[in-house]
Structure 1
Amino acid sequence: MNNKFMGKFIEIAGRIGAQRHLVAIRDGFVAIMPLIIIGSIGILINNFPPLGKFELVEWMNGIFGDGNWQAVGGSIWNGTFAVLGLLVAFSIAYNLAKSYEVDGLSAGLISAAAYIMLVPETPDWGLNFAWLGAQGLFVAIILALVLTELFRVLIQSKFTIKMPEGVPEGVARSFTALIPATVILIIVGFFQALINVFADVSIFEMIFNIIQEPLQGLGNTLPAAMVVAFLNHILWFFGLHGTNIIGSVIEPVYLPLIQENLELFSSGMSAFDVPNLVTKPFLDSFVFMGGSGTTLALLIAIFIVVRREKNHPYREVAKLSAPASLFNINEPVIFGLPIVLNPVMLIPFILVPVTLTIISYVALATGIVPKTVAILPWTTPPLLSGYLVTGGSWRGVGLQIINLAVAVVLYVPFVMAGVRALKQRMEG
């Protein structure tokens, strides 16, 4: 564990995890996650199969008129997923500016304004919703990072209007941002004019075709899902927050995929027929049960192996960790057992998630289990999450039970080895 390669790996991974722009992207997506979850739940309720079984749809139609009650979920969608790119443009710029200790609100507003300037117009002088949403994510990210850097340079170069003392802080801040905002929006305006002259498509279509669509196609594959599972857990093993480190990379790829599934599901398509298999809910619900490493299965394995030794250290850690693990919070077991830098646990901690990724992919690809059509809070307990994320299918619950059983079987030999190793150390 102390050789130069591992030391260099930890150093590089730590630097990546703390890199200012990646942190801003990660925090930008985290900030809007409540809106994404609410939008997902709104669509899920509108198309939830059990509503029809219990004749609730007919009852709601009788009160509000045929289908009118579903306008609530549609309106929620319009304020969340439909403007995802715009929200991200503001949120990432805000977080990046705050990391430089410059005015985050002004940076966010400038980024959002520039984003709207670049969105293609409809024939009736409206904004094209196709590019306000997830299809515009990569433009939003690039725009937020570039414009915030320019805003920071202009602010720190004193190219600003200084108000005298006694002027309210909010007024002074707005005047400070006035000249930088003017310069930035003029530059964006000229850029848009050049795009109109020399290109037949918008910058959104160019970025989508060149970068976003190929990445989404690559991300929606089994090898990509296995790589994500592997990297997440190898980072955790070295004490680095794998979920946060790779989150800034996978969110822009996987969010558009789940949005496409959601849109098609809301239009009446079955969860079996939506196109995308690998999404973030796919990983959260079927692979990361109990948290990274499927540690809920590890706790079950501990209770099986050391069931007769009531005060065994492993069992004590498992008892303390179990309540949090039910809600996918697993820091107590990761650092308490520990899993971090524990050679005995390295193999199962990586092997289990990769194996479950393969099982889950095959189950969805062959049509045994519906694909994911909802985003849930990451703290949603297993079994409930499997039911909801597949649009109300008990097959999703069945897949989670199978995955947990497989994970327990894989963990048991290594728990037994860990128990023996601990016993030998205590006796020695």
Structure 2
Amino acid sequence: MKSFIAFMEKHFLPVASKVGNQRHLIAIRDAFAYTMPLMIVGAFAVLINNLPIPGFQEFMNGVFSQKMGDSYVWTLLGGNIWNGSFAILSIFISFLVAHNLAKSYGVDGISAGIVSLGSFFAVGGAQGMDSAGLFVALLVGLLSTELFRRLSDVDKFTIKMPDGVPPAVAKSFAALLPAIITITVFAFITMLLNAMGIENVVTAFYKAVQEPFMGMANSYPTALLISFITPFLWFFGLHGANMIEPFMQTINAPAIQANVAALKAGKEIPYIVNKPFMDSFVNIGGTGVTIGLIIAIFIVGRRNKPYMSVASLASAPGLFNINEPLAFGLPLVLNPILFVPYILAPMVCVSIAYFATASGFMPAATSMPPWVTPPIIGGIIATASWQGGVIAALNIAVAALIYAPFVYMSTAMEINKANKLLDD
């Protein structure tokens, strides 16, 4: 194990650190972080309109019998919230990715965000403002900002205003020519694609790339890979969750929207793997299903004073899926004894939850509770079912069993170490 850790520190850590600090990935990750409240409220709104509780729809329709078109008035609240969240998600992402990336270069983020929005609509974003246009919004946000900032560095393209002009006006004129050129470039490329027979770039891209990618990402092997990568990176001190967040979010938002749409239409839920699935059934207590580790310490590691001290402090944040006290206090980072259960527990838990969903025992996740929602409660909310709570509880128990032998081993080593010190 020592030779393995030394090899990874020499060859793997430098590469992984560069990836984790890559400005484009950080821009995408932070953009989705800003939109998370919108995705949560949007998913909740539609879920409430379509709660899978027998008699709920009939009861609400009876109490609020007024209709507007084909919809009962009481359902319009959720629909309106959807229109203000998921229905325009790609617009937010297009602006925020460009804004974050531009700021990382020291360029005016507001101007870059506005130019990105203009470029997004120039390529047909009006037909893909929801999550269907997400990949295109990401690409436009990144590419338009790279072009915009390079043009902004050219003095000939910068209109400088005299002193005394309000800063907002000065910035708008400085960005004028780079903005015109950038948006024109995207409009010209779209015109060429239209001439080639591609009527709508966003729709064509979704069918050719995004939809197949979502289907591939929804597979069991991919779920296993995701559950492995995050704790593996954390073991070496890298924030695994943050590093794979851009990938998770590009499949998460469209998958949640598709699941909710299927729920609303009374159809089979298409996607099992998404962010609430991972948060509620795999990252319970934090990466590595560490709520199981805390339980194992309280059961079989009570004589291990260092472990008990850290577990006592970590139990409260662990109930809200925060496990940095364990990661760095126990520690889990570079701990060869806990490496195996730290990797194995989430892979076993993702298998249990995946096949519980695929078999029909548990509904697929259609709601997105905040990632800090306490264990078991998160499973119930995500799937709108008691079965979600059962599977979450089962995963906690299984994780505790996986951690227990290794905690016992660590405790025995700690006791032997203490006895040896006493003998000396």
What amino acid sits opposite 1:85 in the alignment? S
User: Does residue 28 of structure 1 match 2:31?
Assistant: yes
Q: Deviations over 1:108-161 (max 9, x none)?
A: 1111121122227xxxxxx43xx2111111111111111000111011222211
Name which of 322, 325, 333 aligns with 2:318.
325
The residue identity in structure 2 corresponding to 1:401 is A
**1:150 partnered with 2:147:** yes
Deviates more, 1:316-325 or 1:47-56: 47-56
Is the CA contact 1:318–1:333 (under 8 Å) kept in the aligned structure 2?
A: yes
**Is 1:345 the counterpart of 2:342 in the alignment?**
no
Shift of 1:56: 5.6
1:44 corresponds to which of 23, 40, 47 = 47
Cα distance, 1:199 vs structure 2: 2.4
Is the deviation greater in 173-182 or in 186-195? 186-195
Report 1:100-115 matches (<5 A): 100-115=105-120
Kindly indicate whether the alpha-carbon contact (under 8 Å) linking 2:90 and 2:130 is maintained by their aligned counterparts in 1: yes
Once the two structures are TM-superposed, the CA of residue 207 in structure 1 deviates from its matched residue by 2.2
- Whole-Å Cα distance in 1 between the matches of residues 216 and 236 of structure 2? 27
Contact 2:198-2:204 within 8 A present in 1 as well: no
Q: Distance in 1 between matches of 2:16 and 2:417?
A: 32
Match of 1:395 in 2: 387
Tell me the residue number matched to 1:136: 133
Q: Distance in 2 between matches of 1:344 and 1:54?
A: 52
1:278-331 CA deviation, whole Å, 9 max, x = no partner?
A: 111111111110110111111011110134x4x822111111111111111110
1:8 to partner: Cα distance: 1.6
- Amino acid paired to 2:19: I
Instruction: Write out per-residue CA displacement over residues 357-406 of structure 1, whole angstroms, 9 at most, x where no aligned residue.
Output: 1111110000011111011111111111111111x210000111111111
Q: After TM superposition, give the deviation of residue 54 of structure 1 in Å.
A: 10
Q: SS at the partner of 1:248?
A: helix
| In 2, Cα distance between equivalents of 1:22 and 1:421 | 42
Q: Distance in 1 between matches of 2:57 and 2:73?
A: 19
Match of 1:407 in 2: 399
Q: Could you say if the C-alpha distance between residues 152 and 425 of structure 1 is closer, same or farther in structure 2, counting changes exceeding 3 Å?
A: farther
Equivalent residue, structure 2, for 1:98: 103
* Residue in structure 1 matched with residue 233 of structure 2 by the alignment: 235
* Aligned match of 1:252: 250
Q: 1:123 — aligned with what?
A: none
| Contact 2:248-2:274 at 8 Å conserved across structures | no
**CA drift at 1:202:** 2.1
Aligned to 2:89: 84
Question: Contact 1:47–1:268 at 8 Å: present in 2 too?
Answer: no
Match of 2:363 in 1: 370
1:235 touches 1:241 (CA, 8 Å); kept in 2? yes
In the comparison of the two structures, how many residue pairs are matched? Answer: 414
What's the offset of the Cα at 1:216?
A: 1.0
State the SS of the aligned residue for 2:12: helix
Matched, 1:358 2:351: yes
Map of 2:283 onto structure 1: 288
Give, in angstroms, the shift of residue 23 of structure 1.
0.7
Say which of 272, 277, 287 aligns to 2:272.
277
d(CA) in 2 for partners of 1:414, 1:52: 49
Contact residue 301 and residue 407 of structure 2 kept, 8 A: no
Report the residue type matching 2:287 in the other structure.
S
Q: Pairwise CA RMSD of aligned residues?
A: 1.9
In the TM superposition, residue 5 of structure 1 has moved relative to its aligned partner by: 4.1
Unaligned runs of 5+ in 2: none
Point out where structure 1 has 5 or more consecutive residues left out of the alignment.
Answer: 121-126
Q: How far is the alpha carbon of 1:419 from its aligned partner?
A: 1.2
TM-score normalised by the chain length of structure 1: 0.92
Partner residue of 1:124? none
Which letter does structure 2 place at the counterpart of 1:395?
Answer: Q
Question: Which of 93-102 and 82-91 deviates more?
Answer: 82-91
CA distance in structure 2 between the partners assigned to 1:67 and 1:383 by the alignment: 33
SS in structure 2 opposite 1:344? coil
Does structure 1 conserve the Cα–Cα contact (< 8 Å) formed by 2:66 and 2:72? Answer: no
Instruction: Mark the CA change 1:54 to 1:92 in structure 2 (over 3 Å): closer, same or farther.
Output: closer
Distance 1:95 1:263 in 2: 31
Do 2:43 and 2:256's aligned partners in 1 also have CA atoms closer than 8 Å?
no
Hey, what does 2:18 align to over in structure 1?
A: 15
Identity percentage over the alignment? 42
Q: TM-score, normalised on structure 2?
A: 0.93
CA contact (8 A) 1:294 1:353 kept: yes
Residue matched to 1:305? 300
Structure 1 residue 211: Cα displacement? 2.2
